[in-house]
Amino acid sequence: MDKEKQILHYIKMNPFISQQELSKKVGLSRPAVANYIANLTRRGEIKGRGYILREESSMVCIGGANIDRKAKSNQKVRLYSSNPVKMAEVCGGVARNFAENISRLGLSASLMACVGDDKEGNWILQETKGQGVDISQVWILPSEGTGTFTTLLDVDGESIVSMADMSIYEKLTPSMIEEKWSHIAASQGVYLDTNISKECIRYVIKRCKDEKIPLYIDPVSPAKAQNLPSRLDGVELILPNREEAEVLAKVKIDSIADCQIACEKIRDLGVNKVIITMGDKGVYYSSPEESGHLPPIQTEVVDPTGAGEAFASCVIYGIMNDESLINACQLGLAGAALTLQTEKSISPLLNSDRIYELVKES
């Protein structure tokens, strides 16, 4: 057994073993042991204090964590007028919602996001931790307010207008991410949303490519899709909606045939797999091996908030479990259908057994 494997073996037996004890057990000087541990930490085999060993099936989720405020109208919305609504407030954010969804599917997830040191931030952390997500890597910024996303829903559940106060994410820098990179390197994949700055997005994309870490990207909105660099080499999967795909591919999408063209153009940027989501028109998927269109699973739409993150989490769950892209998309559509049926941003019914059942039923 080589020295590195010996060191890992003894750390696994006792995560709090001292470097002096390790040096005696493996027959090396203490500085030599420290050097091995530094290399193991840099590679992500060890993360954090107490020599926490790498967990399998882990997903690091980088991006938004905020409060979702939803106002659902009791009647057809009238612009420039007072509208009677029912207000609801839930924990949200693209990366945060994704992390909770993927955790409900049975994979370990950790969240990397910024919150303020306020009641909203504390609520997000407690709720997210309560759903089994690791929140130890979240930045708490005392001088900033936690992000908010406020949306007005028509009587039929369609979003009329949304307002996002996400200025806190501008405080995140590449050096802050670099400090936590050993945690990222220990994961089996990274999910990134584009709420963070262009510089941070470029940093994550480049390092994941260089270190061959599977990277999955949600462009979030047409405006934020422009934060992505001109090349996306090394990205395993990107999940734009129709408008975001138009920005990335620089083409107009009016038909399924247009989706195919857009996917090819996006893949030409270096992406391995592309899935364009089109609401009630379903999804179009494309990879080097397969491509095609799938209609949505028919369901009652109570509230569309969170359906995109549910779709993404179930697709990526499928990919990580070696499903074909078409099968992964079917799981994603099942997850989205479950989420559309509830006023919550995360369906309490979401789990791996249920999405497979729903695919069979449909």
Pick the CATH number of 3-47 from 3.90.550, 1.10.357, 1.10.10, 1.10.1060: 1.10.10
Residue 222 clears pLDDT 60, i.e. is over it:
yes
8 A C-beta contact, residue 114 and residue 65: yes
Q: Using DSSP, state whether 90 is helix, strand or coil.
A: strand
pTM score: 0.81
Distance CA 55, CA 107 (A): 10
Residue 205 clears pLDDT 80, i.e. is over it:
yes
Average predicted confidence (pLDDT) for the chain: 91
8 A C-beta contact, residue 347 and residue 314: no
What's the mean pLDDT in 77-93? Answer: 91
8 A C-beta contact, residue 84 and residue 75: yes
**Predicted confidence (pLDDT) per residue in 139-192, tens digit:** 999 999 999 989 898 988 788 998 889 899 999 999 999 999 988 988 999 999
Specify the domain boundaries for CATH 1.10.10 within the chain. Answer: 3-47
For residue 53, the model assigns a pLDDT of 55
Specify the domain boundaries for CATH 3.40.1190.20 within the chain. Answer: 56-100+107-189
Helices (H), the chain: 3-13, 19-26, 30-43, 94-104, 119-130, 174-179, 181-185, 198-210, 222-225, 242-249, 256-267, 307-320, 325-340, 352-361
Bridge partners (DSSP) listed for residue 112: 62
Lowest mean pLDDT, pick from 43-57, 193-207, 261-275, 286-300: 43-57
Residue 1 clears pLDDT 70, i.e. is over it:
no
Distance CA 129, CA 145 (A): 20
Residue 44 clears pLDDT 90, i.e. is over it:
no
Share of the chain above pLDDT 70, in %: 96
For residue 65, the model assigns a pLDDT of 96
Q: Sorting pLDDT into bands at 50, 70 and 90, what band is 130?
A: very high
For residue 52, the model assigns a pLDDT of 53
Closest Cα to residue 149, out of 234, 228, 67, 240?
67
For residue 35, the model assigns a pLDDT of 79
Lowest mean pLDDT, pick from 18-22, 197-201, 324-328, 335-339: 18-22
Q: Sorting pLDDT into bands at 50, 70 and 90, what band is 56?
A: very low
Could you give the C-alpha distances from 169 to 216, 272, 288, in angstroms and in order?
A: 19, 28, 34
Domain 56-100+107-189 belongs to what architecture? 3-Layer(aba) Sandwich (3.40)
Which residues have CB under 8 Å from 19's CB, separation 6+? 30, 33, 34, 37
**Predicted confidence (pLDDT) per residue in 86-107, tens digit:** 998 889 999 999 999 999 998 8
Assign residue 270 a region (left: φ > 0; alpha: ψ between -120 and 50; beta: otherwise): left
* Exposed e or buried b per residue across 65-87, where buried means at least 16 C-beta atoms within 10 angstroms of its C-beta: bbbbbbbbbeeebeeeeebebee
Residue 37 clears pLDDT 90, i.e. is over it:
no
Lowest mean pLDDT, pick from 36-40, 63-67, 283-287, 311-315: 36-40
Residue 348 clears pLDDT 50, i.e. is over it:
yes
What's the mean pLDDT in 196-221? Answer: 96
